[in-house]
Amino acid sequence: MTTDQILIFALLTVILANFIWGRFRFDFVSLAGLLIATFIGLVPAKEVFSGFSHPAVITVAAILILSEGLMSSGFVDAMVKTLETKAKSPIKQFYFLVGGVAFFSAFMNNVGAMALFMPVAIKIARKNEIAPSRFLMPMAFSSLLGGMITLVGSPPNIIISTFRVQSIGKAYRMFDFAPIGLALCVVIIPIIIFLAPKLIPQRRKSVSQEDFFEITDYTYMVKLTEGSSMIGKSLMELGGEYFRNVNVIGYVRNKRKHARVSPYLVLQENDLLLLEASTANIQDFLRLTKLSLSGSKKLSVDEIGGNGIVLSEVVVTPTSNFVDRTARDMNLRNNFGVNLLGVARVGQRVAQSPNRVLMRPGDVLLLQGSEGSIQEVISDLGALPLQDRGIKLQSTSKIALSLGIFVTALLLVAVEFLRPELAFATAALLMIATGVVSIQNAYDAMDLPVLFLLGGLIPVSTALETTGAANLIAESIVKISSGVPAWVTVLLVLIITMALTNIINNAAAALIMAPVAISIAQVLGLNVDPFLLAVFVGATSAYLTPIGHQSNTIVMGPGGYHFGDYWRLGLPVSILTCVVSIPVILFFWPL
């Protein structure tokens, strides 16, 4: 083993360990790994940032913008609304949700499809008094299966296609993956629908807005009496000393209730402050201020809202700026005019003061503020709303325009008239130029952490090949599987990739395993396609954990799932994926 091979193995071990540990964001780990690889001579300095101009990165970014365009135009909303109104019974609604998210995941980012259907699923579950846990995990798994139908369904698809170009000089076409993806959907989705009620735990019904106010915490009314040191000062001035662990969620002045609370509100004598806090924190507040309670009661949603103030539930995504931070760190009230009223984790409200909770991916947050301020928080800090957005009222011409641009790009790629990165980048630019999606929304739509992950890991993946390390791994796998039919080696590649993608990002799993798959095919002197396609299937099949794919992560909080819940349904789905995909791969792409 050469020095460079030892170094690349050591670096990949550190990168994978950090992905699994989760202490640092995966985009940071990817960039740090890239720079270290450059400094130790594994990646040439002139190629250090070549990954950011890679066709896979450009194509993924363009697809994200096109997905946003389809949603902004109202096309996707109209389709969802139409299907929703035609599905009346709970079982038909279940079919609609699972099938709908699979269909849209084939042509747009599968996380985007989940974000679109998840509020609909929660609304339907609450209406029928069914636990959302019965809907959300099957939908997440279906989004992964649907993402395997086309070239644009998921980032690993595009990554695998670019590796095929490097290996044999030709990319996969738009619908080359369809036999595999359709076979998996047709066989596995009905089984998911059948098994879900039996294998998914009946977690408590989802945390509704009312639920947030029926668990341990109370709200209190405090009157500012004459002589109080708080009189004449703003909430911003008093925040650090008095309101560290107490939320001001409303006030009464001159017998008029105000739900909108500005950080610049100057307190006056006889103001009644509506406070939310745990019992211990309110006692600390009373001792500090020398005030007394004017009353205490449980709040209803109506009492907290009103006057342009709404309550909104949002879920924290893995790439959100909420992750590993508290509301106090982000100064939500002063920066956005929003109060954090509650945090729910795996279906249960976190009992401690919301402002002090260190947030995690999958947490459900209850925010209070104006619609505009909450939308600003969602956009700037990265979260997904859980309430049903309702259909967007857009002109038919804009819907037709967005659909026309998208379908034209698909056709141009399908007939191989244009390369995918060129066709989809042009289509994204046309979406912006025609006003279907604004430039700001286009930038917001691009999942920068994923793009940075790809841009950082692509040169490292190339180093895995150039140092001969990929060939070394391939020889070891071939040696392990010696004496068995070649299809068993293909299955082994799929299983290894599947195991990897359940603990790290799916794009990272594809980037690491693709060069190994190519090397195995070369060592065996066989067709490279079955091995690359095994990586393609394995990299998308993250069914065993909530951390392998964002679709799994974002349903964890709203569904009330525990970490160990995923394997109950995920294990049979993983086994079925292997059983179905290997024969299909070998039939259409013989060894």
**Domain endpoint, select from 254, 271, 297:** 297
542 domain-assigned: no
Q: Do residues 76 and 116 lie in contact, with contact meaning Cβ atoms separated by under 8 Å?
A: yes
The HSE-up count of residue 417 (CA atoms within 13 Å, CB side) is: 9
Residue 344 lies in a domain: yes
Residue 230 within any structural domain of the chain: yes
DSSP 301-360: HHHH-BTTEEEEEEEE-TT-TTTT--HHHHTHHHHHS-EEEEEEETTEE--S-GGG----
Instruction: Name every residue whose Cβ is closer than 8 Å to that of residue 229 and which is 6 or more positions away in sequence.
Output: 289
Write out the chain's pLDDT in tens, 591 residues.
Answer: 899 999 999 999 999 888 888 788 888 999 999 999 999 999 999 999 999 999 989 999 999 899 888 877 877 777 777 766 777 777 888 888 899 899 999 988 888 888 888 888 888 887 788 888 888 999 999 999 999 999 988 899 999 999 999 899 999 999 999 999 999 999 999 999 999 888 887 765 544 555 554 434 557 788 888 888 888 888 888 876 788 778 787 888 887 877 677 778 899 888 888 887 777 788 888 888 888 887 555 555 555 555 667 778 888 888 788 888 888 788 777 777 788 878 888 767 776 677 778 888 888 888 887 778 888 888 777 788 886 555 444 556 788 898 899 999 999 998 889 889 999 999 999 999 998 888 988 888 888 888 998 999 999 999 998 999 999 999 998 888 888 899 999 999 999 999 999 988 888 999 999 999 999 999 999 999 999 999 999 999 999 998 888 889 888 888 888 888 899 999 999 999 999 999 999 999 998
Last residue of a domain, one of 353, 385, 417: 385
Q: Does 314 lie in the same domain as 366?
A: yes
Same domain, 285 and 336: no
| 40 alpha-carbon distance from chain centroid | 34
Is 116 a member of any domain? no
Q: What local confidence, expressed as pLDDT, does residue 538 receive? A: 96
Structure tokens at 589: 């792409």
Contact indicator for 71, 114 with CB cutoff of 8 Å: no
Identify whether residues 293 and 255 lie together within a single domain. Answer: yes
The alpha carbons of the chain give a radius of gyration, in whole angstroms, of: 26
Q: Strand 309-316: give its sheet, edge to edge.
A: 348-349, 339-345, 364-370, 309-316, 383-385
Q: Does 314 share its domain with 273?
A: no
Q: Is residue 535 part of a domain?
A: no
pLDDT value of position 351: 65
Question: Are 331 and 362 part of one and the same domain?
Answer: yes
| Domain final position from 243, 264, 297 | 297
Q: Are 274 and 223 members of one domain?
A: yes
Whether 233 and 278 share a structural domain: yes
Both 229 and 290 in one domain: the answer is yes
Considering the domain architecture, whether residues 242 and 292 belong to the same structural domain is answered as yes
Total number of domains constituting the chain: 2
- Regarding whether 313 and 292 lie in a shared domain, the answer is no
Q: Is residue 465 in a domain?
A: no
For the entire predicted model, the pTM comes to 0.82
Residue 331 lies in a domain: yes
Residues 6+ apart with CB under 8 A from 284: 245
Domain-embedded: residue 221: yes
Question: What CATH number should be reported for the domain holding residue 328?
Answer: 3.30.70.1450
For position 215, what pLDDT does the model report?
39
Question: Do 317 and 270 fall within a single domain?
Answer: no
- What residue numbers bound the domain in which 232 lies? 215-297
